[in-house]
């Protein structure tokens, strides 16, 4: 649906389907200092499956030295209970990671590089051209195994060191991966620099050029604009979003700031507006509420803190006396 046609309807979902990708079990847990026991990771993924998340990024197949928090990736991926209709994906950085992920029955591989040269060097220790050549090999490995590939492009909405990345440059990187036959692209707001009008323009440009290529948006709430950016994306025709249970995750270039868009906050808002997310919000909130005990600290989720809009409270214990005094003054 064209953005112009949707403009009058973005505030009224009218049952339109929005697909939620859960990334907290990878993008969130990888940043935690405390190691979450393997059985608890499996239980968390299973709970998210039961909540109806359409895609779950379960883990990452990287060196245990690089991300020790996810050193049990193979066990988790093998032992989760798979719900029909859900896709279980994992981050893989190289051919060896892809082979491990495929062997563990991962449904889809998620590859990452940055559209910012400076960020790519800082984050991956490679030039963009080097990352691209390495990922070409990973894509070939996945295609030989008939395993779908999604590519997450970091800093599409701005780099904390370079500033804005020109839209034409972002789209040129999308084209390179589209030419390789990947199934999907995620446009990532890696450090929370995106703003709604910018998001709308980039999504419209993407949808016009690649209407059949899968598109996911990945926003951070670093500056409090994640929900606004989700709505701008929907207005431009997007229907799939990454989000993290409890708002887990962080931003290395904004210490102390919140990280990923929060799954239950986005679902709560979209459901109130009439969108169909295919999820059970109560189950998501229950899973999020258990996170502080697992990770040893509070979580950003405002829905866990305040409850859903329809979670009502009892009047104070002396409400009858308050009412009587008010009536006596009438």
Active centre residues (catalytic): 251
- Residue 161 — left, alpha, or beta (φ > 0 → left; ψ -120 to 50 → alpha)? alpha
Under 8 Å between Cβ of 70 and 37: no
Q: Which of 245, 286, 268 is nearest to 58 (CA)?
A: 245
Q: Which of 49, 36, 111 is nearest to 75 (CA)?
A: 36
Indicate the burial class of 169 (C-beta count within 10 angstroms; 0-12, 13-18, 19 or more): middle
> Under 8 Å CB-to-CB from 324, ≥6 apart: which residues?
none
Residues paired with residue 87 on neighbouring β-strands, in sequence order: 55
| Residue 138 CA: distances (Å) to CA of 10, 27, 89, 133, 143 | 38, 20, 15, 9, 9
> In 19-41, which positions are buried (b, 16+ CB within 10 angstroms) versus exposed (e)?
bbbbbbbbbbbbbbeeebeeebb
Our CA angle for 1, 219, 282, nearest 5°, is 85
Tokens at 101, concatenated? 């992920």
Q: How far apart are CA 2 and CA 204, in angstroms?
A: 8
């Amino acid at each position: 649906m064209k953005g112009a046609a949707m403009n009058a309807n973005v505030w009224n979902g009218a049952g339109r389907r929005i697909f939620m990708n859960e990334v907290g079990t990878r993008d969130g847990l990888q940043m935690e200092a405390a190691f979450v026991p393997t059985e608890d990771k499996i239980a968390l993924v299973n709970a998210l499956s039961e909540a109806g998340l359409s895609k779950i990024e379960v883990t990452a197949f990287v060196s245990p030295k690089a991300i020790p928090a996810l050193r049990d990736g193979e066990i988790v991926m093998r032992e989760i209970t798979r719900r029909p209709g859900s896709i279980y994906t994992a981050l893989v950085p190289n051919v060896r990671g892809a082979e491990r992920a495929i062997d563990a029955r991962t449904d889809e591989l998620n590859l990452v590089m940055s559209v910012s040269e400076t960020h790519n060097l800082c984050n991956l220790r490679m030039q963009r051209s080097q990352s691209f050549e390495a990922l070409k090999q990973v894509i070939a490995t996945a295609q030989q195994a008939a395993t779908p590939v999604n590519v997450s492009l970091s800093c599409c909405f701005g780099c904390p060191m370079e500033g804005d990345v020109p839209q034409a440059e972002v789209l040129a990187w999308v084209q390179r991966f589209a030419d390789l036959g990947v199934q999907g692209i995620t446009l990532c707001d890696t450090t929370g620099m995106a703003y709604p009008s910018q998001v709308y323009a980039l999504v419209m440009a993407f949808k016009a050029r690649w209407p059949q290529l899968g598109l996911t948006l990945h926003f951070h709430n670093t500056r409090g604009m994640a929900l606004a950016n989700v709505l701008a994306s929907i207005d431009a025709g997007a229907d799939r979003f990454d989000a993290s249970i409890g708002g887990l995750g962080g931003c290395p270039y904004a210490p102390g700031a919140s990280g990923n868009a929060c799954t239950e906050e986005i679902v709560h808002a979209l459901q109130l507006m009439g969108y169909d997310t295919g999820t059970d919000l109560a189950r998501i909130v229950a899973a999020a509420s258990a996170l502080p005990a697992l990770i040893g600290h509070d979580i950003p989720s405002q829905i866990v803190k305040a409850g859903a809009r329809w979670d009502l409270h009892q009047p104070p214990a002396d409400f009858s006396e308050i009412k009587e005094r008010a009536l006596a003054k009438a």
